[in-house]
Structure 1
Amino acid sequence: MPLTPLHFGVLAPVNYLFPGKVSLVSFTLVNAWIDMKFIEAALTGQPLPAHGDIHSLAGVLIVGTLVAMPGVRYAKWVIGAYLAALSHLLLDGLIHADMQPFGWIEGNPLRVMDMQTLSLILLPFMLWFIVQTVSSSYAWVRMRWAALPFRNHPPKP
């Protein structure tokens, strides 16, 4: 799944149950890093590479740790990084036969479905996430607009 928006569907129930506890920025950085080879191939027109070591438990934990380190003082940042790493491994593991998520187990024991089935399952969550993002962005803009100085003190005639 080369950085499909469907990876972000994971955040919908998490944001609902734990509002404001997960960093979208660290979540995005980890997902992009894990799929960097696929993004590069898609942009340059090259064939998609096989899922390598970065699509393993050790690989995603290393990426998650590297992204989490600069924001280690902020739990929200760290949670976003590790949630992205582990959910990315799980979602990709469900559909890609060429992955070997656990180095000590031959093959991919997580694979149980195809891309279309997983996409249909994740689509409602992705739409839910979009609604959450638009709604919270609108609330943020309204709050900032209300705090502007000219909104609280009308100009003198």
Structure 2
Amino acid sequence: MPFTPIHLGPGLAFKAIGGRRFSFMVFGGAQVLMDIEPLLGILRGWPVLHGPTHTVWGALPIGLLAGAIGRPISAACLRSLRIPHAPFTWPASFAGALLGTYSHVLLDAIMHSDLQPVWPLSPANPLLRWISVDQLHLACMALGLFGVAAIVLRAAWNRLE
């Protein structure tokens, strides 16, 4: 299923580690952009849902696009919702976008048999079933819980100072 929320777990961990140097909003947007190809494939009945966009090479332009449009869109959303936030930087936008697209390829390579992560250099997918899909989902959820816990603890600590 495209637009899986399970991919956001690692993003929360990245946010906990990167703080304001990483945009979780842009990370989420990059996830959606990555899954436009599989969505079109589902709607049109393509035999391969994870094609060129789900490769090391395809993730780069999608990540660059997500980083370029992510900062102004995210800043506008935060401003319109009147959510206070630290200055939104271009490096944070591109960190969120590129970590979003490349983690997406990594996670999908583990679970989708039609994905060829280094195509056209090789049709192989050495990551396929590296761990089970259930283990992958549990790892993503664990990373998400770690990220939320670390973000909450950091916020509590900052209030004490």
What is the TM-score of this pair, normalised by structure 1? 0.70
**Residue 98 of structure 1 contacts residue 107 of structure 1 at CA under 8 Å; is this kept in 2?**
no
1: CA distance, partners of 2:17 / 2:26: 19
Residues 1:57 and 2:60 aligned together: no
Q: Which of these residues, 101, 122, 130, is aligned with residue 105 of structure 1?
A: 122
Q: Residues 103-149 of structure 1: CA distance to partner in whole angstroms, max 9, x if unpaired? A: 1012212221332121122222223345567x49x98xxx9xxxxxx
**Residue 85 of structure 1: aligned partner:** 101
**Residue 155 of structure 1: aligned partner:** none
- Structure 1 residues 119 and 6, CA, compared in 2 at 3 Å: closer, same or farther? same
Unmatched 5+ stretches in structure 1: 144-157
- Structure 1 residues 124 and 94, CA, compared in 2 at 3 Å: closer, same or farther? same
Query: Which structure would you say has the larger RCO, counting Cα contacts within 8 Å and 6 or more residues apart?
Result: 2
Q: Residues 5-48 of structure 1: CA distance to partner in whole angstroms, max 9, x if unpaired? A: 22111123322222121112211111001112444677x7x799
Question: How many residues align structurally?
Answer: 137
Identical aligned pairs, as a percentage?
26
What is the letter of the counterpart of residue 50 of structure 1?
Answer: L
Q: Which of these residues, 139, 150, 157, is aligned with residue 121 of structure 1?
A: 139
1: CA distance, partners of 2:115 / 2:57: 13
**Residue 65 of structure 2: aligned partner:** 66
SS in 2 for 1:85: helix
What is the TM-score of this pair, normalised by structure 2? 0.69
RMSD: 3.2
SS in 1 for 2:19: coil
- Structure 1 residues 35 and 132, CA, compared in 2 at 3 Å: closer, same or farther? farther
2: CA distance, partners of 1:17 / 1:126: 12
Q: CA deviation at 1:89?
A: 0.7
SS in 1 for 2:144: helix
What is the letter of the counterpart of residue 11 of structure 2?
Answer: L
What is the letter of the counterpart of residue 25 of structure 1?
Answer: M
